[in-house]
Amino acid sequence: MITRGDCETMDRTDALAAARDRFLLPADVIYLDGNSLGALPARTAARLADAVTQQWGQGLIRSWNAAGWVNLPEQLGRKIAGLLGAADNEVIVADSTSINIFKLLAGALTMAGGERGRRVILSERGNFPTDLYMSQGLNSLLGDIYELRLVDGNIENAFDATTAVALITQVDYCSGRLHDMKRLNAKAREAGTRIVWDLSHSAGAVPVALNDDGAELAVGCGYKYLNGGPGAPAFAYLAASLQRDFPTPLSGWFGHAAPFAFDTNYRPAPGIERLQCGTPSVLAMLALAVGLETFDGISMQDLRQKSLRLSDLFWTLMDAHCGPFGFSCVSPREHADRGSQLSFAHEHAYPVMQALIDRGVIGDFRQPNLLRFGFTPLYLRFADMYDAVMIIRAVMATEAWAEPRYAQRNRVT
């Protein structure tokens, strides 16, 4: 039986333990929801205060140049590229994930458009809803000439000569299942098509090797594992080989080759800059910049190792202490098959999660019956796993979750 003392020993020898100081966390909280909203970095408040009072207040419009505001989308893109195994000029920070899906999916469909018979947009039924909704809306805008084909089983076998584009999320938001990017890219290439990858639950959570694994198009989220703050700007990746001719559908002036030439006609920037649309959200980008700095000097391999150790420990402790209470883990057991989260199905998942949140163990609930726990190695301790499972056990053993107030549904779950 693993004791709390064992967990404390693991913390004492943890090479990433000091990274916790890069964050400000409430003392009475075990935060297992960094996969939904990353924790607040210690430096964010001061950096934003300076940005508002000095850069904006004193610098005024001069700060676009003097404080480098105008460079933020590319500068943060380079930093994210480093986390994802992409080249410096292949990632840009802009807009939201949903909007970046629209841009890349539309562009990829246009590129495939010459080929008759390729009329299928391939995705998974369990994909994050916005990915499906954006595909539906785009298809409708294009006159419903495509079929959105949603695969239930193994998407690997679904690629064929009718596939125009596939939209695939690497780490499933519900189960945490992790796709083998290299293998699927090879399948797509064999079938003469391409994949738009959604890395929302991958970026900053698992090692990603976009270039080595043959990825051409990807999007992802800034406010989850990247710690950019609520509603942080998202990113888009476009392999260098596609950039020159990539047909971006949102031809805003910030993606123009020369925005301040004020030409009448749209002429896209030659590189990744063309994936920008309008004026960047500077304050939000500065918060994301601090979020990305929390990864400075940390290897994704070390991060991954600790993530798997934390989640294995949590799972083992759940089995040992919460076995009789009806939880069943729906996440893949194999390390190679899962991201940085575990989800447990339970008949009373919603009220159980509300009771846990009330006691400082913050995860979240996902339809229809999942308690979801995210593991963020930069600020979680092994002892947190122990304490969280003890609180779960207490909530179950005392049936505290059955209080009527925990059944009340909030707008955000």
Ligand X SMILES: *Cc1c(COP(=O)(O)O)cnc(C)c1O
Q: Is 187 annotated as catalytic?
A: no
The smaller minimum CB distance to ligand X, of residues 196 and 392, is found at: 196
C-alpha 106/C-alpha 324 separation (Å) is 49
The smaller minimum CB distance to ligand X, of residues 83 and 389, is found at: 83
Q: Which residues pair with 159 in a beta bridge?
A: none
The smaller minimum CB distance to ligand X, of residues 137 and 326, is found at: 137
* Minimum distance, C-beta of residue 404 to ligand X, in the bound complex (Å): 31
Q: Is 128 annotated as catalytic?
A: yes
On the CB side of 306, CA atoms within 13 Å amount to: 25
The only residue of 63, 96, 163, 294 in contact with ligand X, by rule CB under 6 A: 96
C-alpha 35/C-alpha 32 separation (Å) is 8
User: Interacting stretch for ligand X, rule CB under 6 A, among 15-23, 94-102, 326-334, 356-364?
Assistant: 94-102
Q: Is 182 annotated as catalytic?
A: no
For 332-392, the DSSP string reads -SSGGGB-SEEEEE-TTHHHHHHHHHHTTEE-EEETTTEEEEE--TTT--HHHHHHHHHHH
Which residues have CB under 8 Å from 282's CB, separation 6+?
51, 69, 72
User: Interacting stretch for ligand X, rule CB under 6 A, among 24-32, 108-116, 126-134, 299-307?
Assistant: 126-134
Annotated active-site residue in 23, 102, 128, 325: 128
Q: Where are the alpha helices (DSSP H) in 228-348?
A: 240-243, 282-293, 300-322
Annotated active-site residue in 223, 237, 254, 325: 223
Site for ligand X in 207-266 (CB under 6 A): 221, 234
Q: Using alpha carbons, list the distances in angstroms from residue 189 to 182, 184, 192, 193, 216.
A: 11, 9, 5, 6, 11
Count the residues of the shown chain that bind ligand X, applying the rule CB under 6 A: 13
> Is the Cβ–Cβ distance between 366 and 412 less than 8 Å?
no
As a three-state string, the secondary structure of 130-185 is: HHHHHHHHHHHHCCCCCEEEEECCCHHHHCCCCEEEEEEECECCCCCEECCHHHHH
User: Interacting stretch for ligand X, rule CB under 6 A, among 95-103, 241-249, 371-379, 380-388?
Assistant: 95-103
User: Interacting stretch for ligand X, rule CB under 6 A, among 91-99, 155-163, 302-310, 381-389?
Assistant: 91-99
The only residue of 128, 315, 327, 382 in contact with ligand X, by rule CB under 6 A: 128
In the chain, the amino acid numbered 187 is K
* Minimum distance, C-beta of residue 127 to ligand X, in the bound complex (Å): 7
* Minimum distance, C-beta of residue 393 to ligand X, in the bound complex (Å): 29
* Minimum distance, C-beta of residue 106 to ligand X, in the bound complex (Å): 15
For 279-297, the DSSP string reads ---HHHHHHHHHHHHTTTT
Cis-peptide, bond into residue 368, ω within 30° of zero: yes
Count other Cβ atoms within 10 Å, centred on residue 264.
4
The only residue of 169, 281, 294, 307 in contact with ligand X, by rule CB under 6 A: 169
Check residue 24 and give left, alpha or beta (phi > 0: left; psi -120 to 50: alpha).
beta
Q: Binding of ligand X at residue 98 (CB under 6 A)?
A: yes
Q: Where are the alpha helices (DSSP H) in 203-299?
A: 240-243, 282-293
- Provide the mask over 171-210, with x wherever binding to ligand X is found by CB under 6 A and - wherever it is not: --x------------------------x-xx---------
The smaller minimum CB distance to ligand X, of residues 280 and 351, is found at: 280
Site for ligand X in 333-372 (CB under 6 A): none
> Is the Cβ–Cβ distance between 108 and 194 less than 8 Å?
yes
Annotated active-site residue in 224, 366, 381, 393: 224
The smaller minimum CB distance to ligand X, of residues 93 and 385, is found at: 93
Q: Which residues pair with 362 in a beta bridge?
A: 31
The smaller minimum CB distance to ligand X, of residues 39 and 389, is found at: 39
The smaller minimum CB distance to ligand X, of residues 229 and 351, is found at: 229
Q: Using alpha carbons, list the distances in angstroms from residue 5 to 12, 25, 76, 89.
A: 11, 23, 40, 47
Which residues have CB under 8 Å from 46's CB, separation 6+?
none
* Minimum distance, C-beta of residue 364 to ligand X, in the bound complex (Å): 12
Annotated active-site residue in 79, 366, 372, 381: 372
The only residue of 14, 33, 124, 131 in contact with ligand X, by rule CB under 6 A: 131
User: Interacting stretch for ligand X, rule CB under 6 A, among 125-133, 180-188, 351-359, 385-393?
Assistant: 125-133
Binding site for ligand X (CB under 6 A): 96-98, 128, 130-131, 169, 173, 198, 200-201, 221, 234
Catalytic residues, which ones? 128, 198, 223-224, 372
